[in-house]
Homo-oligomer: A and B are copies of this chain.
């Protein structure tokens, strides 16, 4: 094995580590997320043991919020996460020093967006949106062929949307904002509102039209801001297959023909699509980040 890359999807419950060069040859292993020191030591030991001196670069797609700006004094840090012990952890620096290779670093959702652009549902698109709806709601945006970072990185879960309190008295579960999009429409919000796990809610349950309304309001806002050529939307909550269909109809209803693009008015089924890389999007995104770090 020569000139391999390392890919790390750093998640709140596990780190997925991969070694390879393409989706076809990437071999992965999982390391549970405990303390930063213990977890990152195990990650470094894994790559030393499995890749050794053939390792040329590592990419990390991380839970956050993070500092994704190369050149910033806290580049590669997890910043203000509520996850115990991880606040202010220098993830990229620790891994880079431990393995003595260049490190690429970004958010988990930006990583997933990169992977879907390279090998998945957004191939060939310079401008698109990737959204995941699960434990939280997060998004990444490609604009003019580059990831959008700006000041930090998007926090698309925290959009404010209309909340019909009469129909839905659930106050929202976001500790910062109450009834923001994530507070109303994440997996935990569904569970708390309906006292059932999202996967146990049957397709005819009133949970789903309400969920489609909230997510469509969020998508409406993202469309009006980013003008994406496609929306790739996945995550655990989208595993209920009726939801994607409902979401397309509701987004059409909300936009109401205002944005006169054939892609939206006539081709909603290819405008709002499921991801193609599923659970591998994060680690494959990390592979794209490793590639870029190797090329620099």
Contacts and interface: CB of A to CB of B under 8 A. Distances in A.
The binding surface of chain A is classed by DSSP as loop
A176 B144 contact: no
A89 to B, nearest CB: 15
A151 interface: yes
B228 A176 contact: no
A163 B146 CA distance: 35
Interface stretch (A41-49, A216-224, A234-242, A285-293): A216-224
Interface in A242-258: 254, 256-258
Contacts of A295: none
Interface string A140-163: 010110101111111111111111
A259 B263 CA distance: 33
Given A127-B150, A144-B146, A159 B259 contact: no
In this complex, the interface size class of chain A, counting residues with CB under 8 Å from chain B, is 35 or more
Interface in A196-211: none
Interface of A: 65, 79-80, 127, 139, 141, 143-144, 146, 148-163, 176-177, 217, 220-222, 224-229, 254, 256-261, 263-264
